[in-house]
Structure 1
Amino acid sequence: MLMFVSEAVIERAIDGESEAQREIYQVFYPRVYRMVRRIVGETDADDVSQDAFMQVLSKLDSYSGNAAFATWVHRVAVNQALQHVRSRNRHPTEPFYEDSMTGKDTRRRAGLSELLDAALRRIDVELRIIFQLKEIDGLAYAEIAQTVGIPEGTVGSRLNRARRELQAQLIDLGWEP
């Protein structure tokens, strides 16, 4: 999916024009939401996505043009999601219910998409982000490297590790390859 806003729209948004800011939001929000949801989970996805866009719009003047605008937006969103995950890990809360869906029961009750989401939530957040950006969002290694701030070669090794861990989690949840 191609996400594009013109340089003119970006400049108008930097100047504070609300219509240009709205256009940026409308173009990028769906993809940012999907990425954030996979990082923080369904419950917090709306709030964290909104926080990410507050950051994007408040930091527009710091966009230097060194990377594609979409890459910059994703980096801001990833950073916001990671900050949320770290904060949540420092202040964990107890769930209101016990998740009784395990093993083969999970496979019967959940569709493949839900199973994948559950497995993704079980792998390290850094690996989850790499997997999301490559396999779900379809970004190239160079774009992923810019988005998460790691060398391009590291993207490949982390992606391989993410795939291995994801497969192990899927099997643990009852999926049979």
Structure 2
Amino acid sequence: MPARAEPADAALIARVVAGDDRLAYGLLVRRHQSAVRNLLRRLTAGDAALADDLAQETFLQVYRKLAQFRADAAFPTWLHRIATNVFLQHLRARHVELSLDDMPEPATAGSVAADEAPRAELQLDMARAFAVLSPAERAALVQCYHLDMSHEEAAAALGCPLGTLKSHLARGKQKLKARLQAWETRT
């Protein structure tokens, strides 16, 4: 007996909007929650607890706003835009400034295998480098390079003009390059 195909996002959205179908909404959440959490973990510089809280807030807002989804962009793009806005609202509400003091300490020699040490150091250096980016620069880089979105998709997800996205990418890459040059000379 062939496996039943999962309903498309559009069909699930229609069911939720038409009849407050919580099972359909649950399927949407399960289908997209990993991507949203991964996006938010990148934006929060690896703070898993905060990312999970923001993911929960994202899905609450999505549920409230689902009837407003016009399908101008793909559902995941719309969802990522809401997640990014939730992150930015969190920063504004808390006046949070990510600093190097917020980053985890380097692993001790005994806690990381010798062949994994360079990778662990690079990950730590990347996290520290990402911490100096503005939220907009971090969001642009995560959308384009981590989520592999096109510039047009990322601009739509972030709700900014294409030129603004490209500016954020250029400034962010320049800052990352400057911060990571120290790592490059160590290897």
AA in 1 matched with 2:149: L
Query: Structure 2 regions of 5+ residues with no counterpart?
Result: 1-6, 107-116
Match of 1:10 in 2: 13
Report the identity percentage.
30
**What are the residue-to-residue correspondences of 1:133-152 with 2, within 5 Å?**
133-152=143-162
Structure 2 CA distance for partners of 1:84 and 1:5, relative to 1, 3 Å: farther
Letter of the structure 2 residue corresponding to residue 40 of structure 1: T
Q: CA RMSD in A?
A: 2.7
8 Å CA contact retained: 2:44, 2:51:
yes
Match of 1:55 among 54, 61, 64: 61
- Relative contact order, higher structure (CA 8 A, sep 6+): 1
Among 30, 33, 40, the residue aligned to 2:34? 30
The alignment's TM-score, normalised by the length of structure 2, stands at 0.77
Cα 1:7–1:154 change in 2 (3 A) is: same
**TM-score computed with the length of structure 1 as normaliser:** 0.81
8 Å Cα contact 2:54-2:87 kept in structure 1: yes
Please list every run of at least 4 consecutive aligned residues from structure 1 whose deviation after the TM superposition is greater than 3 angstroms. Answer: 97-101, 107-111
Aligned to 2:125: 115
Q: Structure 2 residue aligned with 1:39, among 43, 58, 68?
A: 43
Q: For the residues of structure 1 that align with 2:8 and 2:40, how far apart are their CA atoms?
A: 21
Distance of 1:25 and 1:61 partners within structure 2: 16
1:36 CA drift (Å): 0.9
Number of aligned pairs? Answer: 164
Distance 1:98 1:12 in 2: 43
